[in-house]
Amino acid sequence: MTAFGKLVRSTAFRLTLVYLVVFAFYAAALIAYFALNTGRLITEQITETVDTELTYLSAQYTGGGLRRLVLIIESRSLRPGSSLYLITAPTGQALAGNVGSLAPGVLDSTGWSETVYRRLDEQEIAEHSALARVVQLSGGFRLLVGRDLEERVRMRSIITAAARGSVALVVVLGLAGGFFVTRRVLKRFDAVTETTQKIMAGDLSGRLPVTGIGDELDRLALNLNAMLERIEALMRGLKEVSDNIAHDLKTPLTRLRNRSEAALRTARSEADYREALESMLDESDGLIRTFDALLMIARAESGQARDNMIVFDAGDVVRGVCELYEPLAEEKGLAIKVETAEPAMIKGNRELLSQAIANLVDNALKYATPAQGAPAEIVLAARREAERVLLTVADRGPGIAEAERARAVERFVRLPQNMSEPGSGLGLSLAAAVAVLHGGELKLEDNAPGLKVVIALPRHADL
């Protein structure tokens, strides 16, 4: 598309055209209204003048007779710029006045008429138009008084010329202004288009130009830039996570591969093969679990699960998980109990939160064999604290040294003392991700002795 074509097809230019038509029409209408009223005013003035003269002349005729009327008319006729006068006898013969010729039939009837005429004193044949009134005088005489309409005609032509001129001016100025504005707007849009094309081509660091005027285009650009900023951050995060996942899933995959290789190399009997296959099945189940946990973490971190949040008592979640794990804890010689006093309402995803608490309890059962002399118990709680709800899982095991706490929450991190137990190293990460999803945080604290995991969530108003 040529630059001109682009300009003409732009929204700004089309808008300009629409406005132009509207304004030209408006100007024309205004002038037409003006012309009409001016014309009417002139006509009114003429009729008034004519009426006044006729009243005066009729009075003179009534008072002084035909002679006096003729004398007055003759003297008036000689004045420059005078009205038109004509007195006719009952025979139709002109007795006095300054009218040379009239359109035929004007004198036949009384009243107003518009007519062409020629003055007596004029040499040229040019005819003018006039507005005249004829009255019947007593004795069969008729008197015509009229005024030239030249003024009205001249006025009309002046207004017409003015109308043409101003409409032309509106069109020219409008088009010029439109081109100017459109080109300016187009230039800014072109800059935006260029940047977006660069971004689409893969350069996420591109940002839209902001002029600093603070107009609507600037505001749009600022918002789009903020959006791009967020997208870039998300993409960076995604890349980091997928790199980590790729790295960390290779470990169990390698193990799986090694086992099948070893089985192929060393297995002798069907029982050997069977055993190898079963262990590989276990390994792949573990891999699937890891995958599920990773997906769940990713989902919690991306905030997708926020759609299904409902308001419920966090105490119910804690009690539910406690009830699920109670027989297992008993089997391991541990008491598991819940300490909840009052309802602790939160808004969240019940399933995810249950899973988070379950992971914490699971960890406590696996890793927190009570130290000698410590009470063999795991205490769950859901407490209100100011504007927060604290969900805690506290054990009496060896705890985690302060220096190691931050690392323990990271994905796939398994503390050296726990390596003997099976696990993916994702349980605590998931619980932390769930806490963040709910607008809260997960903290590891000293239970003196033991570990106390606290999930602090924003409290929801009681129902």
Interface residues with other proteins (CB under 8 A) are 285, 288-289, 292, 295-296, 299, 304-305, 307-308, 320, 323-325, 327-328, 331, 349, 351-352, 354-355, 358-359, 362, 365-366, 423-424, 427
Least separation in angstroms between CB 287 and other proteins: 9
Cβ 382 vs Cβ 391: under 8 Å: yes
Closer to other proteins by CB, 59 or 328: give it: 328
Least separation in angstroms between CB 251 and other proteins: 18
Closer to other proteins by CB, 204 or 287: give it: 287
Closer to other proteins by CB, 39 or 320: give it: 320
Three-state SS letters, the chain? CCHHHHHHHCHHHHHHHHHHHHHHHHHHHHHHHHHHHHHHHHHHHHHHHHHHHHHHHHHHHHHHHHHHHHHHHHHHHCCCCCCEEEEECCCCCEEEECEEEECCCHHHCCEEEEEEEEECCCCCCCCEEEEEEEEECCCCCEEEEEEECHHHHHHHHHHHHHHHHHHHHHHHHHHHHHHHHHHHHHHHHHHHHHHHHHHHCCCCCCCCCCCCCCCHHHHHHHHHHHHHHHHHHHHHHHHHHHHHHHHHHHHHHHHHHHHHHHHHHHCCCHHHHHHHHHHHHHHHHHHHHHHHHHHHHHHHHHCHHHHHCEEEEHHHHHHHHHHHHHHHHHHCCCEEEEECCCCCEEEECHHHHHHHHHHHHHHHHHHCCCCCCCCCEEEEEEEEECCEEEEEEECCCCCCCHHHHHHHCCCCCCCHHHCCCCCCCCHHHHHHHHHHHCCCEEEEEECCCCEEEEEEEECCCCC
Closer to other proteins by CB, 206 or 320: give it: 320
Closer to other proteins by CB, 50 or 358: give it: 358
Q: How far apart are the first and last CA of the chain?
A: 63
Least separation in angstroms between CB 11 and other proteins: 39
Least separation in angstroms between CB 328 and other proteins: 5
- Residues listed for the chain: 463
Closer to other proteins by CB, 208 or 314: give it: 314
Closer to other proteins by CB, 131 or 336: give it: 336
Least separation in angstroms between CB 260 and other proteins: 17
Least separation in angstroms between CB 322 and other proteins: 11
Closer to other proteins by CB, 252 or 423: give it: 423
Distance CA 342, CA 383 (A): 7
Least separation in angstroms between CB 294 and other proteins: 12
Least separation in angstroms between CB 261 and other proteins: 22
Give residue 99's region: left, alpha or beta (phi > 0; psi -120 to 50). Answer: beta
Q: In what order do the strands lie in the sheet with 99-102?
A: 94-97, 84-88, 142-148, 128-136, 111-119, 99-102
Q: In what order do the strands lie in the sheet with 388-394?
A: 335-339, 377-385, 388-394, 451-458, 441-446
Least separation in angstroms between CB 365 and other proteins: 7
Least separation in angstroms between CB 285 and other proteins: 8
Closer to other proteins by CB, 286 or 449: give it: 286
Closer to other proteins by CB, 132 or 361: give it: 361
Least separation in angstroms between CB 300 and other proteins: 10
Least separation in angstroms between CB 321 and other proteins: 9
Half-sphere exposure of residue 292: CA atoms within 13 angstroms, side-chain side: 9
Closer to other proteins by CB, 208 or 318: give it: 318
Closer to other proteins by CB, 209 or 423: give it: 423
